């Protein structure tokens, strides 16, 4: 991570509205990085390596002050970890989706309305948005989603019902859908 952008909790008091606080935790599906702007959770990243996730958050929000702050994100991270294990509990966190385009935000809003245990195809999602030929655009919006789980792109399937691209890995997508199907 670019150390000039990373701040420690000791310097957090100097943070401005351009600051993003983050914390990293471990789950059964991998390492989780939760990040929050003053508006709400702006990223939930999933991976295998905390350093790679920290670099990812810095790359996603260039010019923003990125602050490691486990205390500030304790409750958010606990809610995310609880959701992974018991998706029926839901994940009710305020989200900051302002980093997406207007179209991406529309896709993400529709995705947030899909309940745990349910799925939708890219084509059906595009039709809901009034774009019957927009499956690829919907897939691109899903790929741009930085708020895994909070914006449940893992619930989107191919037209034939099979799994397809998930930026956090198909194994994780399957694990999440299997857990949700059990509720």
Q: How far apart are CA 117 and CA 182, in angstroms?
A: 8
Q: In the annotation, is 153 catalytic?
A: yes
Selecting among 135, 147, 153, 157, the annotated active-site residue is 153
Rounded to 10 degrees, the C-alpha dihedral 139/98/61/155 comes to: -30
Q: In the sheet that 6-7 helps form, which strands lie side by side, from edge to edge?
A: 6-7, 65-68, 19-27, 30-36, 41-47
**Long-range CB contact pairs, 108-112, < 8 A, 24+:** 108/141, 108/145, 108/147, 108/151, 111/142, 111/145, 111/151, 111/152, 111/153, 111/155, 111/156, 112/150, 112/151, 112/152
Cα angle at 55 between 155 and 94, to 5 degrees?
Answer: 45
8 A C-beta contact, residue 46 and residue 37: no
Q: How far apart are CA 157 and CA 62, in angstroms?
A: 31
Residues with a known catalytic role: 153
């Amino acid at each position: 991570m670019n150390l000039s952008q990373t701040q420690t909790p000791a310097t957090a008091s100097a943070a401005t509205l351009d600051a993003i606080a983050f914390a990293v935790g471990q789950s059964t599906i991998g390492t989780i990085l939760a990040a929050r702007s003053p508006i709400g959770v702006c990223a939930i990243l999933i991976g295998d390596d905390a350093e790679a996730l920290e670099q990812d958050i810095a790359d996603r929000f260039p010019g923003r002050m990125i602050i490691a702050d486990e205390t500030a994100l304790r409750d958010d991270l606990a809610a995310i970890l609880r959701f992974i294990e018991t998706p029926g509990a839901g994940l009710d966190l305020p989200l900051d989706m302002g980093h997406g385009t207007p179209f991406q935000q529309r896709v993400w809003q529709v995705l947030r309305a899909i309940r745990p245990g349910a799925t939708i195809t890219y084509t059906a999602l595009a039709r809901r948005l009034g774009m019957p030929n927009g499956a690829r655009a919907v897939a691109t919006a899903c790929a741009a989603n930085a708020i895994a789980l909070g914006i449940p792109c893992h619930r989107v399937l191919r037209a034939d019902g099979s799994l397809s691209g998930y930026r956090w890995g198909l194994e994780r997508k399957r694990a999440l859908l299997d857990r949700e199907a059990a509720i």
